[in-house]
Structure 1
Amino acid sequence: MIERADAVLAVVPLLAMSGLALRTAIAATGVGTGLLAVPLAPAGYLAAFAVIVRELLAGPAARRAADGGDERS
C-alpha cells in the first residue's frame, strides 16, 4: 500500500516537469504558439512548490507538531 509520504514525494517531481513537458508539446505543434507556451514552464515548478508548502503547513507533520510533538518518545 502506498503511504501518503510516498505519494507526495512522487508527485513533486512530476509536477515540476509537467510545465516543461506541456510547454514542449505546445511549442512542437506550431511556431506561433511557442510564445503562448512561455508562461507554462514555471507553472509546474509553482505547483510543486505549492504541494511542498501545503504539506509543511497543513500536512500530518504539521498537525503532530501542533499537538505537542512526537508521541513515540
Structure 2
Amino acid sequence: MLERPDLVLAAIPLLGVSGLALQSVVVAGIGTGLLTGPLAVTGYLAALALVFRELLVGPVAERSGES
C-alpha cells in the first residue's frame, strides 16, 4: 500500500515534467513563444514548492517540532 512519503517522492518528478509536457501541448496547438516560455519553468517551481511545503509543514516539520 502506498503511503504519504511514497506519493510525495512520486509527485516530485511528475511535477517537474508537467511544465515541459504542458509546453509541448501548447506549442503543438496555437501557442506563442511568449506563452510557452514560462511553462517550462512552471513544473520545476511546482516541484520545488512541494519539497519546501513538505519540509516546512509536513511530517518532518512536525517531528522536529516535538523534540
Q: TM-score, normalised by structure 1?
A: 0.85
1:3-41 per-position Cα deviation (integer Å, ceiling 9, x unaligned): 1000000000000000000001110123xx231111111
Unaligned runs of 5+ in 2: none
Bigger helix fraction: 2
Runs of 4+ in structure 1 over 2 Å off: none
Aligned position for 1:66: 65
Higher RCO structure, 1 or 2 (CA under 8 Å, sep 6+): 2
Aligned position for 1:71: none
Unaligned runs of 5+ in 1: 69-73
Structure 2 CA distance for aligned equivalents of residues 34 and 5 of structure 1: 38
Question: What is the identity percentage for the equivalent residue pairs of Structure 1 and Structure 2?
Answer: 52
| Number of residues of Structure 1 aligned to a counterpart in Structure 2 | 66
Larger Rg: 1
